[in-house]
Chains A and B, each alone.
Chain A
């Protein structure tokens, strides 16, 4: 029974971690920016979703349409905020050292966190209706929320969609060309600036979608982005910064590490994820799925 619980919890948690982390790894992979503000985008997604759902329900519209509302709000919020930040701040700083860019996004994280507080106040928002809507099914006598299953589905769709887009569409392939060599891509006429803006916006949308999908399960309250970003870091660092398959593996590692701990040794729950990260880094300094880059003299 415990095993089934671990398997299901691990699955849920892995899917959630993947959703939270995949945008981060996409942005790093293409733009070489380790984006701490990702946590703030997640929070914004959750808040916008909560507000949108609040309006929707108070208008007395059919309950099933709420899911459309969730998706739409996350998409719009992520896209608008992402494009805005990229245009106003990041674009002026491209080409800086990677470590500097971490500090820039840290500053953005601080600013956006307070912007959220100023916009939505410090009270909590609760929008549990979508979570309760589908009820639960039972595995043995373990209740399993159907909503969680949908999140797993969403993670799979997001992963496959991203893979398809990067490998099978023109824009996606151009994007991989930018990853391989920025100068050559620019010389070949690829509009690197546009690709960057698009990448950042998509990464932001992914963070907002993760936030929106999580909103019905939690109290949406200041500070929800703070822990998320650190978990997302752990996931992408385990898998290898910038690698989408790496994010899948990282999410599964971290998700199951946590699930096992929750059921076997709950005092090590949080510790487990960071410990996995530290061990992976100690053995493979650049993560499981990334290649080390040598320096030429």
Chain B
């Protein structure tokens, strides 16, 4: 069996005595598609924020591709090959969709500022074909701020996918999206990510979405991992049904 792409060992985060995450040890193999479930306050977002460097863990270790990335900042984790999208889409509202993608390209490739002209025909081609893959071509010249929330989230995910990151974390990709659009949303987001060979972790509340798109589930409860494994097994787990799924249908 090959080494995991990503692993956390005994990850812990406390905020002035309040434990937000505790003893999180997870191994993720390359190519897996993992759903993270749990009620609000279960520690899911804290976990994502630690992994991507927004929060520094109080204890524990994060390994990515064999390297210790504990304590790196968001820029460094992004450069290492971990990207994320956000529960509330984080886009550059005044720029067009294409410009948003160009900024994502420039930021990822010129990690340090460079003196070369940033917007080249090649980059515009790359940005356009990426928009194509995510089905956003038609709105390439629309300012991102005028897009509906669902489309904005798609753009957010497309930006996270720029530069073919090895690991992509999607923070509630279907929240704020109407019930009948959720599957379409996931289809357009997951397919191009899969095609690029990215390993995907996504936070999700809708168990139908989880069943359809995940091949493994990690359930969080009160800052720690309650269950981790095969979708069918975890979702039928008695504790998960009681503490996680019961709450999440609210």
Contacts and interface: CB of A to CB of B under 8 A. Distances in A.
Does A associate with B in a complex? yes
Interface of A: 297
Contacts of A297: 49, 54, 86, 88, 90
Interface string B183-212: 000000000000000000000000000000
Nearest to A296: B88
Contacts of B54: 297
Contacts of B88: 297
B27 to A, nearest CB: 27
5 contacts: A297-B49, A297-B54, A297-B86, A297-B88, A297-B90
Interface of B: 49, 54, 86, 88, 90
A210 to B, nearest CB: 41
B132 to A, nearest CB: 29
Contacts of B90: 297
A297 B49 CA distance: 9
B20 to A, nearest CB: 14
A297 B90 CA distance: 9
A111 B64 CA distance: 60
B158 to A, nearest CB: 19
Nearest to B74: A297
Nearest to B45: A297
A184 B19 CA distance: 28
A100 to B, nearest CB: 16
A155 to B, nearest CB: 37
A297 B88 CA distance: 8
A207 B78 CA distance: 50
A297 B169 CA distance: 15
Nearest to B87: A297
A122 B86 CA distance: 59
A240 to B, nearest CB: 21
A275 to B, nearest CB: 31
A97 to B, nearest CB: 14
A266 B49 CA distance: 53
Nearest to B49: A297
A297 B86 CA distance: 8
Q: Which 4 A-B pairs have the closest CB atoms?
A: A297-B86, A297-B54, A297-B90, A297-B88
Nearest to B86: A297
Nearest to B88: A297
A254 to B, nearest CB: 34
A297 B172 CA distance: 13
A122 B88 CA distance: 57
Contacts of B49: 297
Contacts of B86: 297
A242 B88 CA distance: 31
A297 B55 CA distance: 11
Nearest to B171: A297
A297 B74 CA distance: 13
A297 B54 CA distance: 10
